[in-house]
Amino acid sequence: MIELSNCIEKKISEELKLNILLSQEELNLQELSITTKQIDWDSFLKLAVKHRLISQIHKNIKYLEKITPPEIIERFKQVKLDQTAKALNFITFVLKIHQLLKEKNIQHCFFKGPLLSYELYQDIGFRNFGDIDMLVEIARVEEAKKIIEDIGFRCINPSTSYSDRQKKINYTISHHYFFRNEINNVNVELHWNISNPKSFFNIETDEILTSSEIIQVSNTDLPYISRTINLVYLAAHGSVHQWFRLFWIKDFSVLLSKTSAADLKNAIELSKKLRLEKSFYQACQLANLLYKNDFPDFIKTKITTKSYSGIPLKSIRTNELKFRGIGGKILFVFYKLQLKKSVAYYFDSVFRLRTHPTDWELIKLPDKLFPLYYLLRPFLLIYKSFIRK
Give the model confidence (pLDDT) of 197-231 as tens digits: 999 999 999 999 999 999 999 899 999 999 999 99
pLDDT band at residue 6 under the 50/70/90 scheme? low
CA–CA separation, 105 and 312 (whole Å): 41
- Phi, psi values for residue 329, rounded to 5°: -65, -40
Query: 17-74, pLDDT tens digit by residue?
Result: 999 999 999 888 777 776 666 899 999 999 999 999 999 999 999 998 988 999 999 9
Ordered strands of the 108-111 beta sheet: 154-157, 176-181, 186-191, 132-136, 108-111, 220-224, 213-217
Count CB-CB contacts under 10 A for residue 297: 7
DSSP, res 158: S
The confidence score (pLDDT) of residue 11 equals 72
Residues shown for the chain: 389
The confidence score (pLDDT) of residue 383 equals 86
Q: Of the ranges 19-23, 133-137, 322-326, which is most confident?
A: 133-137
Whether 264 contacts 247, CB under 8 Å: no
One-letter amino acid identity for 8?
I
Kindly give the interhelix angle for 277-291 and 246-257, rounded to the nearest 10 degrees: 90
* Position 4 pLDDT exceeds 90: no
Task: Return the SS3 of 85.
Answer: helix
The confidence score (pLDDT) of residue 183 equals 93
* Position 2 pLDDT exceeds 50: no
pLDDT band at residue 340 under the 50/70/90 scheme? very high
Query: 151-207, pLDDT tens digit by residue?
Result: 999 999 998 899 999 999 999 999 999 999 999 999 999 999 999 999 999 999 999
One-letter amino acid identity for 383?
Y
- Phi, psi values for residue 307, rounded to 5°: -90, 130
Query: 74-90, pLDDT tens digit by residue?
Result: 999 999 999 999 999 99
The number of CA neighbours under 13 Å toward the Cβ of 280 is 25
Contacts of 129 (CB under 8 A, 6+ apart): 87, 90, 112, 113, 114, 116, 117
* Position 3 pLDDT exceeds 60: no
Q: Are strands 213-217 and 186-191 parallel, antiparallel or unpaired?
A: unpaired
Contacts of 94 (CB under 8 A, 6+ apart): 110, 113, 114, 115, 132, 217, 222
pTM summary value: 0.92
* Position 332 pLDDT exceeds 90: no
